[in-house]
Amino acid sequence: MRALLAQYNGRRRKFRATFARYGQKAFMQHIKTTLLFVHITDVITGEEATDHLWFTMGKKFGALGLVEGDSVTFEARVDTYLKGYIHDEFDLKYRDYHLVYPSKLIKVQADPNQLFLTKEATN
C-alpha cells in the first residue's frame, strides 16, 4: 500500500491528510499522545500515498487543535523503519515507510457533512 512512499524514500514532499483521532503510546515509562491521519495524499501528484499514518504529538501538531475530520497540509520527509516490536537483533521484521520531520502545517476546518472513518483505517 505504501509503494508511492517507497518511490520518494529520503525526499521531502508535500502531503494532505485527514485527522481521524488521538491515541496514546508508552515510551520509556512515559505516555505519549499520538495522532492518526487517514487518506494521506501527495499534493503534487494527487495520488494516495497511504491509507493511514500515526504521528507523535509535538508542538506543531498541538498548536493546531485538531478535531476529527480536519484536513492538514504539510511537508515531510519519507523514511523507512522496521515495522513491529523488535525483541532482539535476530528478530527479523520488515521495512515499512512513514513520514518524519513534518513542517509547514496548515489546518483546514472539518466539514461536518464529510466526516468519515472506516474501522479498517483506524486499526
The residues with which 22 forms a beta bridge, in sequence order, are 35
Does residue 115 surpass a pLDDT of 60? no
Q: How high is the pLDDT of residue 108? A: 83
The residues with which 17 forms a beta bridge, in sequence order, are 72
Query: In this structure, what CATH number is given to the domain that contains residue 66?
Result: 2.40.50
Asked whether residue 114 is domain-assigned, the answer is: no
Q: How high is the pLDDT of residue 122? A: 42
Strand order in the sheet with 48-56: 48-56, 30-42, 12-27, 71-82, 95-108
Number of Cβ atoms within 10 Å of the Cβ of 20: 23
Q: Domain total for the chain?
A: 1
Q: Are 53 and 35 in contact (CB under 8 A)?
A: no
**pTM check: above 0.75:** yes
Asked whether residue 56 is domain-assigned, the answer is: yes
Asked whether residue 120 is domain-assigned, the answer is: no
Q: Residue 119 — very low, low, confident or very high, per pLDDT cuts 50/70/90?
A: very low
Q: How high is the pLDDT of residue 89? A: 60
Asked whether residue 123 is domain-assigned, the answer is: no
Does residue 22 surpass a pLDDT of 50? yes
Collapsing DSSP states into helix, strand and coil, what is residue 114? helix
Residues 5-19 have a mean pLDDT of 94
Quote the domain boundaries for residue 48: 3-109
Grid coordinates given for 60 = 506543531
